Structure 1
Amino acid sequence: MKFDFKKLLPHVIAVVIFVVVALVYCKPAIQGMVLNAHDNIGWKGMAQQSIEAKEKYGHIPNWTNSMFGGMPGYQVAMEATHSVLFGHVEKVLSLGLPKPANFFFLACICFYILGLALRLNPWVAVLGALGYAYSTYDPVIIGAGHDTKMLAIAYAPLVIAGLLLLFQKRWWAGIAALAAGATLQISTSHLQIVYYTLLILGALSIGFLIDSFKKKELAHAIKSLSLALLIGILAFSSNAIHTLTNWDYAKESMRGGVSELKQSGDKNTTSGGLDKDYAFKYSVGIAETYTLLIPGIYGGSNGGDEYKKSQFADKLMEVGYPEDQALQFANQVSYWGGQQPTSGPVYFGAIFMLLFVFALFFEKGWLKWSLLAAGVFGVVLAWGKHAEAINYFLFDYMPLYKKFRAPSMGLVMPQICFVLLGAVAINNLLFGNNAAEQIKKAWKNTAIATAAILAVAALLYFSFDYVSPNDSGIKQNMSGAMLQQFAQQGKQPTAEMQQQAETFGKGFVAAIQADRKGLFGSDLMRTAFLLVLGIGLIWAFAANKLKAMPALIVLLVIGSFDLLLVDRRYLNDTKFVEQGDFDNAFTMTEADKQIKQDAGYYRVLNTTTDFTNESNTSYYHNSIGGYHPAKLQIYQDLIENQIAKNNMQVLNMLNTKYFIVQNPQTGAPIAQMNPAAFGPAWLVKHVHFVADGKEEMKALDSINLRDTAVIQTKFKTAVGAQPGADSTASIRFIENRNDYIQYESSSSANQFAVFSEVYYPRGWNAFIDGKEAEIIKVNYALRGLALPAGKHKIEFKFEPKAFIMGDKITMIASILVYLVVFGSLFMAWRSSNKAIA
């Protein structure tokens, strides 16, 4: 067959554009530098023990001891027992580009495929792809190290493309795109983005069903959706090793586990899900939605690069701050909205928002209404607690939604839908057959709507107070600094001095508020200019004063540059560091060196930082704390009710042998040994039974846990009789290999042993001399065993059924996905060649 290179050329050019833009934007990555991203550092600390275990034992264990007293390690690092995973395709699809250029390229190429699925002009598809991939949310989360989220966002358009191809009866291409996209997206394990993608698919399906019903083509719609459902099941099955373990773990975690301490009827509590105050913490203010059009309306971020000049920085320099530090401080306090802190706004680009508004007046049909409904629904979800009546109801009753947090993430839905709808509209305008009157009417309505939107923005500009919850702290710090300066000069603070200090502090607050207003104003003018320019381009084309391709190229250039310039406020060259500097985040301190001299098995509590939100300690030690968004519910309860108030009995039962504290003289971390730690396991003299979890937790306040085990009465049968008196009884720790723990016991009477290991009923099995024994929940969060008299070998083995079953299903389903995707691609190619012939 004759190869038609002309048809391929536009796609080759599109790929080259995507590669060049990604590499230019991420230039330091080409030079071998890496992002200094908080979450990447966090993951490295979490996963280090698992990585070291693989080096030692040849496999990544399914349990880690390095965080929160122990938790399933597959929530941090996981590997299947086989290499048959469809995720390998990602390396080919991303062309081996360095991180994070690969993220932007994947998002571009997947959206480009979506554009082609809707038969958009390739240049329009390029425009939409760049708008989608470089919407500011993407560089913001990449800069924070949210890699799996970004990958899930990148694959979402490919999933949507597959469904739309099925609706068009382009069966083979649709099957390939949907199977590949869904499998790759689910493999990221970022199920919240998968969930939002499913909501978009649901809106599209409802719209198509209604349209098919009107056209009396319901059979086709049912066939398409049935096929999509089967492909979806296959995609989830090919990732069963992730989906089953996540589902299983959720039943015991903060995202699904029910705390035994919660009061029924509590408005904040949702059965089987997160507490609302935690889940809705990052809710987008209703007025803050304007960042989609004006990025700096609420100051941008805490720590971006909004200001090159700043009144606040100038005042800091007046009191001795170096210029770079002053500007850095100004940027850290720029954001004044309710999502404290935030790494950046969600900005879709003025041109892309203009195209979306134009689409509202120009487009018709089910696709418009489905995309609009899904996008608006995503905005409402993002409002979170600011639309409490709606969102609290949805959180309680919408399937699975209660498992997720950070409603602001819902803006991913309009990021896809609004950009796609705008691309469809500009494609139909430039390359469709439209009546002049229709274009004129849509242009007029767009101009009126745009003017109204800008008028509201102007009213907000003049009505905002630009006050942040953090401003009072700035004022107090600056006022206090002046008073301290008076004190150093030997002056007693007078009322006049205090008033002078107060005025001094207020001056700094007034300066940063002026900076915020200035940022809003400059971005408002910038957006207004772009909107007027865009409206002018549409008018020029409608009036036959500008051809389609020049108009499209101008839109592409100004739309892309607008986004890229704003993106660089949040992800730029300064965010990259040398690999060695990145690794220095885990440089061993003197405290670490001191503790590592102890080769025993114990835990560490780092009091120099927020121990529930850091993983540096986990890099070297078994930590009482850690860094994970879905802690085990029983451990979270223990943190809130015991560890937070420094109950030493509880810290001792967790085998907290070392505390990292701050040296009062030098400020450096030092290690303090706790000789009272109970060790890996101990025998108790008494068992104290309580009715429920509330009594169990309360008992930890007063009972001597070294001598007494607190157990709920539901385990009374498994406990049996009280421990027998035996002064020679002993239990000895042998080894801990994460998934396997061994002890030895000896006694002349029956005993009860408490193990300093977190109770987790979904996979841990206990054996006494090879015979399985029931693990008993002790002291609210630990494991216990009733031991018979004599000498015994005690073993704990972590054998999670969800992982074992998921691993097998993944292998079989992955083979099927390979066959389906590449078989469908072959059939699509074959059908295309037949059509040409």
Structure 2
Amino acid sequence: MNSSILKKALPHLIAIVVFLVVAVVYCRPALEGKVVYQSDMLQWKGMAQQSMEYKAKYGHYPLWSESAFSGMPAYTIAMEGRSKFSFEYLSYILTLGLPQPINFFFLACICFYILLAVLRVNPWVGILASLAYAYSSYDPVIIATGHVTKMWALAYAPGVVAGLLLLFRRQYLSGTALLTLFLAFQMGTQHLQVVYYTLLSMGLLTLFYAVDSIRKGQVKQLMLSLGLALAAGLIAFGTSTVGTLPVQEYSKETMRGGRTELTSGTSKLESRNGLSKDYAFQWSYGIGETLTLAVPDIYGGGSGGKEIGDNSKFADQLAQEFSVPEEQGLQYANGSAYWGAQPFTSGPVYLGAVICFLFIFGLVYVKGWQKWWLLSVVVVGILLSWGKNFSSLNYFLFDHFPYYNKFRAPAMALVMPQLAVPLLAALGLNELLTRGDSREVLWKKFKTAAIATGALLAVLVLFYFSADYKGAHDGDLKERFVQGKMQQLSQGRQAGSDAQQQAIATGNSLIKALQADRQSIYGSDLLRTILLIAAAALLLGLFIRNKIKNPVILVAGLIVLSTYDLLAVSTRYLNQDSYTDEADFEASMSPTPADQQISSDPDQNFRVFDQSSQSPFEDARASYFHNSLGGYSPAKLGLYQDLIENQLSKGNMQVYNMLNTKYFIGRDQRTGQPVAQRNPAAFGPCWLVKAIHYVKDGNEEMKALDSINVRDTAIIQQQFESLVKAPPVPDSTASIRLKENLNDKLTYQFSGKTNQFAVFSEIYYDKGWNAFIDGNKADYCRVDYVLRGMAIPAGEHTIEFRFEPHSYAVASTLSVWSSLLVYGLLITAAVGEWKRRSQPAKKAA
């Protein structure tokens, strides 16, 4: 009995060991205490630091942060787990408590292996395909850049699909439990775009399964499966509502939700409709660029990679023309190597040459509806990834498909082929090992797959010789070289026509050299792909011809080929150079003398604008130390984005003052070091105005900020006029001051002999902020386009603003009960499975 259980479990235990060994070897520096130097993680640390400090002091995260964009909901940055009954322990078990990034790769392998086990795929084939999914180049690329939540969501995706397939296999209890658990895991990552593509893949799966079930007259089973899947989805959604509901509410007020009061002058918003198409489709994969699925560097690899080596023609010519050192020339060459359709990229999406060949074999050999489901996932994912390059479809979807206009970077849709391609490759190889077709049939199918693969390789070879290798920025590069050469030749004098012609010739030759380098790295990878496919085809052909008799030898050979293939490419983007000592990583956020000067101010109730950053509204460094006007978020409040584009970007000091910008960080012209400059004109946390200027709409309100002295006059839209119970009456003795700022609770002290109107230098967000005067709820309104204002009666009053979003309270309760349901489902499924497995033993006894 025990030996039988061990025999069944042994292949799975071997798979786990293989996954662990590969992850540990690939990410060995992580075991030495080093961390991946992730730029986006630094940005997150900057945004989250205030929340972390608050939790250390008060024992829980705040719901509002003052550190970025003059104030925003903190639950979009850092928050508690899913609920008091979260699944962190279960996730810890799945990843064996491994450090990052080892845990990412291990988890992705485990989840994909679970999916293949549900499909009853041979365990050895499961190892091959699971490694292929986990080490597809997109995963190390996003890990290297710090897209942690995206990687978590990708790792869990196969488990979600596995749960749905279990339901369709009529294992209703275990299927419901597995689907609920993994979807809860994935929803908990809060990376809704990956969740969206996962659900889209599952929708295609459901469509093909439904057609097959109706044809077979299994409508009852179909409806039961769909009903349970819907229930599982609702429960899973419920577990994460503590994060999703408040964030969903917030998203409607952001630039992604299309929130704006302006009818013109915005660049990233389309009023009421979400992101503009130009902004949303900026990162669209090129149609030809899709060939990177089989040849990684066909379009030059990553924008900052090291694909171009010592034999760079561009670097050699740059050294000749401008005496640029070789190392610097190689950096320049690699920085300009990418010539695809995206503005830039950290690396291509490469699925593996061996896996692509096995996928084609699977297309030829696999029977049944599952092949067509997987092919549809691949096709849809590719079409979506093209974005604006296939605008006839994608613009239509953007305008009409639910929630599609909330996301950007269409290239991310290639996570769908990343799931489907190794899955169909595994199904094809599994059927080869188990179906029992004659050698003649197998050889015929193999030849068809070989011909199809040969046609693909012919296209790749033809493209190698016919492509122009021209990048979108080559014109700018050429102009830079021309100007540099003219300065070199003229030596301060006006350049003559001969110098101009020589400079132009130099620019042309440098660009041609760069294009030659691009062709060279494509040729190198193309040869690599041809050799890998040839080796895989040879193994498969020898097995079909019965020259390799043991299927384990076949699969082991393919595992070695495929894993070598993918790890070799992945190492280009995540390697030992990507790691640093944790202390050095933390030192990236060390305070400068300017930060120290600002932090020494005894009154910290002010904001800072970091002009020393190249992109202050896309950089969270200042947010790590101060309450900043800038930050890093792709989903800023729409009204604040309007203010950035229409006022802050043009340097309107009145607006900076009303945002209480007490310090500007600039750079010393002599040393280049950051320096702090105090702004004595900042208005402070709150002030009383003498008058109110009413305007018709947001356009007039924004325009009024150009001319009206907002220190004395509050600008208010007419729609809020009813909330101003009484106009301000002059009183030279009236005063208001900030008494305490606890992020979620602001307390002010007011004194006045007459009615007054106060403006608070706090961002208006009515989805949770409530105002109170002496403990009684009071009205407040939006003033000066983004701030809060309140009419205050005469007397001595304590004013409070409390951030207590109803959505968060409801979501917290819902998350607790949903989490309890998940635990109940898991326990019930485990008991049911134990009883099912114990039945034969009882009968035998």
Same fold, TM-score > 0.5, yes or no: yes
| Structure 2 contact 266–645 (Cα < 8 Å) conserved | no
CA distance in 2, matches of 1:714, 1:83: 41
| Structure 1 contact 39–146 (Cα < 8 Å) conserved | yes
Q: What corresponds to 2:125 in structure 1?
A: 124
Distance 1:835 1:284, change over 3 A: farther
Q: What corresponds to 1:11 in structure 2?
A: 12
Distance 1:8 1:532, change over 3 A: same
Q: Does residue 708 of structure 2 align to residue 706 of structure 1?
A: no
Q: What corresponds to 2:137 in structure 1?
A: 136
By how many angstroms is 1:81 displaced?
9.8
Instruction: Tell me which amino acid in the other structure corresponds to 2:579.
Output: F
CA distance in 2, matches of 1:256, 1:492: 53
Matches within 5 A, 1:268-667: 269=270, 271-309=272-310, 310-318=312-320, 319-486=322-489, 493-547=495-549, 548-600=551-603, 601-609=605-613, 610-667=615-672
Count the aligned residue pairs: 836
Task: Determine what percentage of the aligned residue pairs are the same residue.
Answer: 51
CA distance in 2, matches of 1:264, 1:479: 36
**1:32-63: CA deviation from partner (whole Å, max 9, x where unpaired):** 10010111111111100111111222221010
CA distance in 1, matches of 2:56, 2:453: 60
| Structure 1 contact 486–492 (Cα < 8 Å) conserved | no
CA distance in 1, matches of 2:553, 2:44: 47
Matched position secondary structure for 2:837: helix
CA distance in 2, matches of 1:710, 1:671: 31
CA distance in 2, matches of 1:8, 1:314: 58
Distance 1:87 1:402, change over 3 A: farther
Q: What corresponds to 2:793 in structure 1?
A: 788
| Structure 1 contact 776–783 (Cα < 8 Å) conserved | yes
**1:145-174: CA deviation from partner (whole Å, max 9, x where unpaired):** 001100100000011111111111223432
Distance 1:739 1:382, change over 3 A: same
CA distance in 2, matches of 1:268, 1:727: 43
Instruction: Tell me which amino acid in the other structure corresponds to 1:277.
Output: D
Distance 1:437 1:81, change over 3 A: closer
Instruction: Tell me which amino acid in the other structure corresponds to 1:112.
Output: Y
Distance 1:389 1:269, change over 3 A: farther
Distance 1:491 1:400, change over 3 A: closer
Distance 1:226 1:81, change over 3 A: closer
| Structure 2 contact 685–738 (Cα < 8 Å) conserved | yes
Distance 1:362 1:258, change over 3 A: same
**1:293-334: CA deviation from partner (whole Å, max 9, x where unpaired):** 111111011112212322223334454444443323322111
Distance 1:775 1:435, change over 3 A: farther
Matched position secondary structure for 2:270: coil
| Structure 2 contact 83–815 (Cα < 8 Å) conserved | no
| Structure 2 contact 255–269 (Cα < 8 Å) conserved | no
Q: Does residue 683 of structure 2 align to residue 682 of structure 1?
A: no
CA distance in 2, matches of 1:136, 1:123: 22
Q: What corresponds to 1:217 in structure 2?
A: 218
Q: What corresponds to 2:46 in structure 1?
A: 45
CA distance in 2, matches of 1:669, 1:502: 39
| Structure 2 contact 268–275 (Cα < 8 Å) conserved | no
| Structure 1 contact 80–807 (Cα < 8 Å) conserved | no
By how many angstroms is 1:596 displaced?
1.3
| Structure 2 contact 478–510 (Cα < 8 Å) conserved | yes
Instruction: Tell me which amino acid in the other structure corresponds to 1:517.
Output: Q
What TM-score results when the alignment is normalised by the length of structure 1? 0.97
Q: What corresponds to 1:245 in structure 2?
A: 246
Instruction: Tell me which amino acid in the other structure corresponds to 1:419.
Output: P
Distance 1:136 1:270, change over 3 A: farther
**1:749-768: CA deviation from partner (whole Å, max 9, x where unpaired):** 11111111100010000111
CA distance in 1, matches of 2:437, 2:197: 34
CA distance in 2, matches of 1:654, 1:184: 39
| Structure 1 contact 244–802 (Cα < 8 Å) conserved | yes
Distance 1:835 1:701, change over 3 A: farther
CA distance in 1, matches of 2:708, 2:825: 61
Name segments (4+ residues, structure 1) moved above 6 Å.
264-268
Distance 1:595 1:432, change over 3 A: same
CA distance in 2, matches of 1:280, 1:774: 41
**1:230-277: CA deviation from partner (whole Å, max 9, x where unpaired):** 111111111110111121111111222432213699998374422211
By how many angstroms is 1:484 displaced?
3.8
CA distance in 2, matches of 1:329, 1:96: 40
Q: 2:812 aligns with which of 782, 807, 810?
A: 807
CA distance in 2, matches of 1:154, 1:267: 31
Instruction: Tell me which amino acid in the other structure corresponds to 2:575.
Output: N
Q: Does residue 740 of structure 2 align to residue 735 of structure 1?
A: yes
Matched position secondary structure for 1:733: strand
| Structure 1 contact 268–277 (Cα < 8 Å) conserved | no
By how many angstroms is 1:370 displaced?
1.2
CA distance in 1, matches of 2:439, 2:271: 54
Q: What corresponds to 2:64 in structure 1?
A: 63
By how many angstroms is 1:394 displaced?
0.7
By how many angstroms is 1:809 displaced?
1.4
| Structure 1 contact 63–738 (Cα < 8 Å) conserved | yes
CA distance in 2, matches of 1:82, 1:107: 24
CA distance in 2, matches of 1:835, 1:375: 42
Structure 1 unaligned regions, length at least 5 = none
**1:538-595: CA deviation from partner (whole Å, max 9, x where unpaired):** 2222222223222211111101100110111111110100111101211111211121
By how many angstroms is 1:357 displaced?
1.2
| Structure 1 contact 86–817 (Cα < 8 Å) conserved | no
By how many angstroms is 1:486 displaced?
4.4
Q: Does residue 778 of structure 2 align to residue 765 of structure 1?
A: no
Matched position secondary structure for 1:612: helix
| Structure 1 contact 148–188 (Cα < 8 Å) conserved | yes
CA distance in 2, matches of 1:820, 1:62: 31
| Structure 1 contact 362–438 (Cα < 8 Å) conserved | no
Q: Does residue 702 of structure 2 align to residue 697 of structure 1?
A: yes
Instruction: Tell me which amino acid in the other structure corresponds to 1:403.
Output: K
Deviates more, 1:561-570 or 1:325-334: 325-334
| Structure 1 contact 270–276 (Cα < 8 Å) conserved | no
Deviates more, 1:465-474 or 1:151-160: 465-474
CA distance in 2, matches of 1:245, 1:268: 21
| Structure 2 contact 83–239 (Cα < 8 Å) conserved | no
Distance 1:81 1:737, change over 3 A: farther
Deviates more, 1:143-152 or 1:719-728: 719-728
Instruction: Tell me which amino acid in the other structure corresponds to 1:398.
Output: F
Deviates more, 1:174-183 or 1:233-242: 174-183
Instruction: Tell me which amino acid in the other structure corresponds to 2:155.
Output: A
CA distance in 2, matches of 1:257, 1:764: 21
Distance 1:518 1:500, change over 3 A: same
Structure 2 unaligned regions, length at least 5 = none
By how many angstroms is 1:458 displaced?
2.0
CA distance in 1, matches of 2:413, 2:767: 32
**1:707-753: CA deviation from partner (whole Å, max 9, x where unpaired):** 11111111111113321111221111112111111111111111111
Matched position secondary structure for 1:209: helix
